[in-house]
Structures are given as C-alpha cells and as structure tokens.
Amino acid sequence: MERAVADAVAVLRTATDRDWDGTRAGRLEWSCRHTAEHIASDLIAYAGQLAGRAQHAYVPFEITLDEDAGNADVLDVIETTGALLAAAVRTAPPGVRAFHPYPFRSAGPEGFATMGIAEVLLHTHDIATGLGLSYEPPADLCEGVLTRIFPHVRPGETAWPTLLWATGRGELPGRAPVAEWRWNNTLVVPAERLTLEGVTPAAALDLSAGGDGGLRWVEGGPFTGTREAAGMITKAYLDGVHRPEWGMFALVRREDGRAVGAIGFHGAPDEDGRAEIGYDLAESARGRGYATEAVRALSAWALARDDVRALLATVERDNVPSQRVLARAGFVQVPDVDDLFAYELRP
C-alpha cells in the first residue's frame, strides 16, 4: 500500500499547479480533482470498515476536505489515508473480515489492502491521463491486484495492460472491450470449528510451488492433495476458466488460525447441475472430525444455490476413513466412477 501511494503521489506532485477541477480524468466523467478526493475517500472508508469490523453495511461516515485545500493538500490526504489503511491491515487479527458488497458481502485484510491498491493505481492512471502525465505502476503491484481480486480474469502478457483492460480502461488483442466490471473478493464459508476460506490464484500458485499460500499450517501441512489441487486452480486461472466460488478453500481452525487442510470443487456445476468435491487434511489434523465438518458446510452452501442439483465425490476403494466422512455428511453410494467408489448428495 505504501509503495503504491508513494509512486502515485510522486507522479501527481509534478502537476499540482495545473487546473485539476477543470480537467477530466481520463475516461471518467469526474474531474481530476474529484478523482483524487475519491482515492482518499476510498482509502479511509476501507480502513474504517476493517478497523471497525463492520459486518452489515458501510460505516456511515465520509471524509471532507477543507474548502481552501489545494491539489498538493489533496495528495497529503491520500498519503495519510493510505497510511491509515496500511496500519489497519497490519494490526487486524487473523481471520477478521468486514463488510464489502462485492461479491460475497465481506473482505479480509488482504482484500481491503488489495482494493486500496487498485483504487490508487487505477485512479492515478485516470488523473495522469487527463493531465498528460506518464504513469505506469510496478508490475508486481498490478499482478498482485489481478491474482487477488480479479481471479476470473485470464492473465495477459503483462499485468498493467491487463488490469487496465479488465477495468474498462484499455484494449487487449483478441479480447472484447470491457464495459462493466467488478472485482472479486474471496468467499468464506463458516463452520463450527473451522472457517472455509477461499484460496486466491496468488495463494494457489504459492502452494503449488511448495509455499504456504500465506497460511499458518499445522504440523505436516499442507498435504500432497492440497498442493495438487492448488496446481489445478493455478492452471484454471492461467487458462481463464477459474470461477472463484467453485475453486479451493483452506480449512482454517478458529481456535488458533492454523490451516488444517483444504476442500473444494473440481469445477463449476455441469449442465445437469452436478458438481464434484474433494478434500484433504494434514496427517496431524486427522481423526478429529474436521473433514466431516468441512464437507457438511460446503455441501450446505452449494446445495442452497439454484444452479446445484447434486454433489458428487469419488474415493479410492481402500480409503475407508474418507468413505466414512462422506457417509457421516449424508452422501449415499452410487455406481462407481472410473473404478472409484462414488458418493452423491442431493438437496
């Protein structure tokens, strides 16, 4: 966050003597001045949501600048509100989420930080375009925005043009112009002792490469199946077919914030409304009912949707513990699939 703000402010300070009020900000209907004030408003709003742990709506306040505040003063406010958001993110306890409407009604610290960075990058571009300034943010910041809150967007050759295209600010060869867009925060499904936290493409890439995906794991985690599933998510993202709500979820224990395993779908529901699930636990977390709890929670979420008519799970014939998990979660055995035991759950 601090780097995004510092780079943006450094560029815009070169033109504080210009008429920001009378200059349109790129393709926006707003003036450059209004757009700059909007950046500050969003940063403080995100900080307020996260610090106040708002759960059902935006905290009802807004920022107002002094009447005699000049363009340089507005940039001071952007630096200040950016620092406040960064502090709110750093000090937020693990697992904290607060209200944000798109698309699952909440976001965590990483989500609010990434949205803040996106506001800075994109609206600095708008202002710079209006003022005729040259601006291109660091590639890693652009890639971080794409892999965290644009998981549904197929990556392009370079991150900045892809982000501009994804937000209706540019063109990419072979892709239709974007007229409407929204970013996508991760889905979280609550369970009794666990929280099922959506895994972003950024986290999946790290997990598949042998990292921790930004999670604190119990001993022996993540297990092989989790890393393999992360590789599937990464491939789907790179191919442009990843749908976040039908991806992978980390199983995070509420008592200590440690990940014990993962669960997820093999893809979106097919034309018959059937989706397949899979799950995996670290060896040290087995035998405690975590898998059953996770399967029940994710199944309830899926079957409450209009586009899901059945859930399928396949298990190796000698994997008795997993067969028991599915039975306890209400699945019933159906004809085998590819020499694997198959189980199905319907509403």
My answer on whether 289 and 332 are in the same domain is yes
Torsion of CA 21, 23, 29, 30, to 10 degrees: -30
Question: Which pLDDT belongs to residue 61?
Answer: 95
My answer on whether 57 and 11 are in the same domain is yes
My answer on whether 92 and 146 are in the same domain is yes
Question: Which pLDDT belongs to residue 95?
Answer: 87
Give the count of domains, the chain: 2
My answer on whether 151 and 100 are in the same domain is yes
pLDDT by residue, tens only, the chain of 347 residues? 999 999 999 999 999 999 999 999 999 999 999 999 999 999 999 999 999 999 999 999 999 999 999 999 999 999 999 999 999 999 999 889 999 998 999 999 999 999 999 999 999 999 999 999 999 999 999 999 999 999 999 999 999 999 999 999 999 999 999 999 999 999 999 999 999 999 999 999 999 999 999 999 999 999 999 999 999 999 999 999 999 999 999 999 999 999 999 999 999 999 999 999 999 999 999 999 999 999 999 999 999 999 999 999 999 999 999 999 999 999 999 999 999 999 999 99
Q: Is 186 in a helix, a strand, or coil?
A: coil
Question: Which pLDDT belongs to residue 205?
Answer: 97
DSSP-assigned beta bridge partners for residue 253: 194
> In angstroms, rounded to a whole number, what is the distance separating the alpha carbons of residues 139 and 159?
6
My answer on whether 145 and 230 are in the same domain is no
| Most distant CA pair in the chain, distance | 75
Residue whose C-alpha is closest to residue 261's, from 299, 295, 304, 218: 218
DSSP 245: G
Residue-wise burial string across 185-205, b where 16 or more C-beta atoms lie within 10 A, e elsewhere: bbbbbebeebbbbbbbbbbbb
My answer on whether 8 and 112 are in the same domain is yes
The CATH number of residue 222's host domain is: 3.40.630.30
CA distances from 225 to 133, 217, 231 (A): 49, 14, 10
Residue whose C-alpha is closest to residue 39's, from 71, 72, 82, 2: 82
**Which of 132, 166, 200 is the endpoint of a domain?**
166
- Residue 8 belongs to domain spanning: 2-166
My answer on whether 135 and 65 are in the same domain is yes
Residue 138: is the preceding peptide bond cis (ω within 30°)? no
My answer on whether 222 and 258 are in the same domain is yes
Question: Which pLDDT belongs to residue 299?
Answer: 98
The CATH number of residue 55's host domain is: 1.20.120.450
Q: 177 lies in a domain?
A: no
- Angle between the N-to-C axes of helices 32-52 and 71-91, in degrees from 0 to 180, rounded to the nearest 10: 20
> In angstroms, rounded to a whole number, what is the distance separating the alpha carbons of residues 65 and 118?
22
Q: 182 lies in a domain?
A: no
Q: Is 248 in a helix, a strand, or coil?
A: strand
Decide: 166 and 142 in contact? Cβ < 8 Å: no
My answer on whether 8 and 102 are in the same domain is yes
My answer on whether 102 and 20 are in the same domain is yes
The tokens describing 110, both together, are 């990483």
My answer on whether 218 and 129 are in the same domain is no
Q: 180 lies in a domain?
A: no
DSSP 164: H
> In angstroms, rounded to a whole number, what is the distance separating the alpha carbons of residues 192 and 128?
49
